[in-house]
Structure 1
Amino acid sequence: MARSLDGLVLSPVADQAPGQVGTRTRFTYHEENGRVWAEYAGGDVVRGHLVGTREGDRLDFRYVQLKEDGDTASGHCRSTVVDLADGRVRLEETWEWESRPGSGTSVVEQQVQ
């Protein structure tokens, strides 16, 4: 199994559509006993939270967020945890909004501290 996500800060490697998470968004992850959660903010996102589970290298979680314009949104994401050759962690994600139409894929990677 890939190493723990607890305490890691990750960010997207590319911007998504306007008003969504992007390269300025930072996710601070926590993990304990197969449970994962994170807080995130940055770019158009004022505050976001995700909660879910981890089994091996797979994450399954739901997320909610508040944007600068006051809009709120929620969705579901499944991610694969990948250990990179340089020691950092990458999450390869497939997500879908539940509060509005839309779905896609994204990649977030651990920030160098």
Structure 2
Amino acid sequence: MARSLDGLVLAPVADQAPGQVGTRTRFAYHEQDGAIWAEYAGGDVVRGHLVGTREGDRLDFRYVQLKTDGTTSSGHCVSAVVELPDGRVRLDETWEWESQAGSGTSVVEQVAEPAP
């Protein structure tokens, strides 16, 4: 199992569609006893939260976010935790909106920047 996500800051490696999470978004992760949660913000996202569970190298969580245009959205994501050769953490994500149409995949990687 890859190391704990607690205290790590991760960012997408590529932009998603406009109005969604992008390379300027930062996720500040927390982990304790199989529970995971994070706060995120940046780019088109004013504030976002995710909460879920970790079993081995698999994360399963729900997310909700407020965008700069004042709208909210929510969805479900399953991620695989991967430790990179340089010791950083990557999440390979498969997500689906629950509040609107749409689904996809994305990759977020650990960055050395402070949390938002």
TM normalised by structure 1 equals 0.99
State the match for 1:3 in structure 2.
3
Residues 30-71 of structure 1: CA distance to partner in whole angstroms, max 9, x if unpaired? 000000000000000000000000000000000000000001
Distance 1:9 1:112 in 2: 7
1:84 offset after TM fit, Å?
A: 0.2
Residues paired across the two proteins, number: 113
Report the Cα distance in structure 2 between the residues aligned to 1:88 and 1:12, rounded to whole angstroms.
14
Name the counterpart of 2:95: 95
Q: Is there any run of 5+ residues in structure 1 with no aligned partner, and where?
A: none
CA distance in 2, matches of 1:69, 1:106: 23
Instruction: Tell me which amino acid in the other structure corresponds to 1:99.
Output: S
Aligned to 2:38: 38
**Unaligned segments of structure 2, at least 5 residues:** none
Q: Are 1:16 and 2:16 matched, yes or no?
A: yes
**1:112 Cα deviation after fit:** 2.6
Is 2:25 the partner of 1:25?
Answer: yes
Q: Percent identity?
A: 83
Alignment of 1:32-111 (within 5 A): 32-111=32-111
What RMSD in Å do the two structures reach over aligned CA positions?
Answer: 0.5
SS in 2 for 1:81: strand
| TM-score relative to the length of structure 2 | 0.96
